[in-house]
Amino acid sequence: MQDSYSPFITTPAASQEDKIVDAAFRELLNCYVESNHRKKVEIIEKAFRFARQAHKGARRRSGEPYILHPIAVARIVVEELGLGSTSICAALLHDVVEDTDYTHEDILTAFGPKIAAIVEGVTKISGGIFGDKASAQAENFRKLLLSMSTDIRVILVKMADRLHNMRTLGSMRPEKQYKIAGETLYVYAPLAHRLGLSKIKYELEDLAFKYEHPQKYKEIIEKVNETEEHRKAIVEEFVKPVRKMLDEAGFKYEIKARVKSAYSIYKKMETKKIPFEEIYDVYAVRVIFENEDEALEKIKCWQIYTFFTEGHRIHPERLRDWISIPKANGYRALHLTAMGPEGKWIEVQIRSKKMDEIAELGYAAHWKYKTGVQEDETELDSWMNTIKDILAHPEPNAMDFLDTIKLNLFSSEIYVFTPKGDLLTLPSGATVLDMAFAIHSQLGLQCMAGKISHKLVPLSHKLQSGDQVEIITSQSRTPSPEWLDFCYTAKAKTRLRTYLRKARNVDILTLEELDKIGNPSRTPEEKRSLVRKILRNPFSSKKKAGESKNNSPIDRKKVFMLFPDDKEPNYHIESCCSPLPGDDVLGFVNEDEEVVVHKVDCPIAMRLKSAYGSRLVVTQWAGNSSNFMSTVAIDGIDRLGILEEIVDMVSSKFSINIRSMNISTSREVFHCDMSFNVDRAETVNQLCENLLHIKGVKFAKRTS
């Protein structure tokens, strides 16, 4: 291959596709030339020629020339991540070794060790983090983390690759969409969060949400669009007095109004069991100011804060000072929530321009602000050391390993102090035991209790930001399996599991999703047993002993129709999530070629669809049945006769067979969990809407 000719095909005989490819590469070069990096156009053109030749004749599933994909990834790398020529070249070449006859040595010879190393790191995980088997899944994940700990640009290029794949996911078959979307939500979005790539994190989440819950995504987007003009008017009225003060103080600034992402809105609606209209922080305002003197950066943030306090009521519990102590992913900003017009709470984020770039691009933006001291990278180094520490003590169980890593990806942070005043950053939810293990493994194994403000607290005590904690130990202390329920951090769980396996030779399982699984009336141990059974053999046969395995293979490329016949349905339902006709569901094909049905966002399904992508089948309900079990939670103000009205509504007006009721009261307030047989999800939704019309009922929501 010669390096002297132009990267563009400009001859009259050039095909329309060649012209499209040339135009895409020109746009990439324009983005690079307009960036603030040193201009190394020649090496980028060389990488493009190499990749174009290597992928010659290859096409994506959409039918377009394959080379358009690496060009698009490279453009994300420069335009959205702000990286330079080395990363751009690696992006252009990232699929060459995996998909063509070229080798790592070819890349090394042509482009040198830096580019070759990044390409090799991305190639190792190019099949996706998750394979068809959990062991392969964990191994690929280890490769990802090892590569990432060597050169952070590996994961940044891989993140750009995943983002473009998600943007073009519509060309994939439905079962592949579920696999890739599930994988994205399970690991890539949390990784983007941990690296501070907030813009990419939100887009990955929204795209995954769009393919997993298309109808719910559409409904939320429509509601957001419907309220856009009204929202703009409210925000403009809210910031008008602040603009005046900013102008008078001589600030050069920009005020952006933003709306919460569709996925964030959906998660809050699901978690709090509230409608779209009741989410108060859909509104948000970002003030970004220019600042030439870093010594004044913090002072200016607090000055702008006072501008909001002068004209608005401030929510006393919603102040977040991320400028004094940045988040572990490098995020710095000052957050407050103020009362706006019409009684709407509006979140305000105050940032300098530098803070904003790091908030959007995370550690990718640090390349722009590198100094000799490189202070911006200290938190990243700390997190990388945590990853290396976990890799040095790997979990033998693949799912446990993935959970342990993921645990520290998506947690917000708290800040606690040792008796000597040393600062420790821990994930929100961390306990005294987590802090002991964070200081030293032996301290964790011998921990008895903690002391906060001269008061003894147990191992399980959850820490709050600002706590100064003394760890109380005993050399005769022996850890027990119950301690796992007191651990929240990856390091504590890993160390404790390792000790317990060596000391007791027992199989340990803990899952943070227990509170989200199945009927709320189940005890934690019943849920734990259910999860253990499903995860150990997720596709086990439901047949009785002695029955033959003679089912015909299921075509996983076609939609599998679910017939909920009362006598013998053509599928199995797992009780972890109790799906109903009308729910967004997917199927897993077991060893007997039978379909096991889960809700799309069931916590167990989230794990399984990531680990067993080849077992997925897209499903669609093809009928109704009155034999499905569902549970509704009802809260309200207690009064004489309210229970009778609730029962009458369910039994008489909806003709629903109630199977169980559990009622408790506390002074004037009552809570009721009601289980019944029902035909489909829509019936439950209609029932909940009608229950809210009963005087005194304030909340009615399906819980399983």
Question: Residue 641 and residue 486: Cα distance in Å, rounded?
Answer: 43
Question: Residue 140 and residue 162: Cα distance in Å, rounded?
Answer: 15
Among 87, 84, 158, CA closest to 121:
158
Give the CA distances from residue 146 to residues 122, 140, 236, 380, 392, in Å, rounded to whole numbers and listed in that order: 11, 10, 48, 15, 11
Question: Residue 512 and residue 490: Cα distance in Å, rounded?
Answer: 12
Q: Which tokens hold the place of 407?
A: 């645990």
Rg (CA), the chain: 28
Q: Which tokens hold the place of 112?
A: 């040198």
Phi, psi of 639 (to 5 degrees): -155, 165
Task: Label the pairing between strands 572-573 and 595-599.
Answer: parallel
Among 212, 147, 153, CA closest to 179:
212
Which helix (H) or strand (E) covers residue 492, if one does?
helix 490-504
395 catalytic residue (yes or no): no
Burial string for 285-302 (b: 16+ CB within 10 Å, else e) reads bbbbbebeeeeebbebbe
| Cross-strand partners of 671 | 635, 664
Among 17, 27, 99, 151, which one carries the catalytic annotation?
Answer: 99
Residue pair 210/167 in contact by the 8 Å Cβ criterion: no
99 catalytic residue (yes or no): yes
Q: DSSP secondary structure string, 148-180? A: HHH-THHHHHHHHHHHHHHHTGGGS-HHHHHHH
Label residue 272 exposed, middle or buried (CB < 10 Å: 0-12, 13-18, 19+): exposed
DSSP H helical segments within 572-641, as ranges? 603-611
Q: Which tokens hold the place of 477?
A: 């202390």
Residue with the two structure tokens 């669809």: 609
Q: State whether the Cα torsion 214-137-95-77 is positive or negative.
A: positive
Among 17, 79, 98, 526, which one carries the catalytic annotation?
Answer: 98
Catalytic residues: 98-99
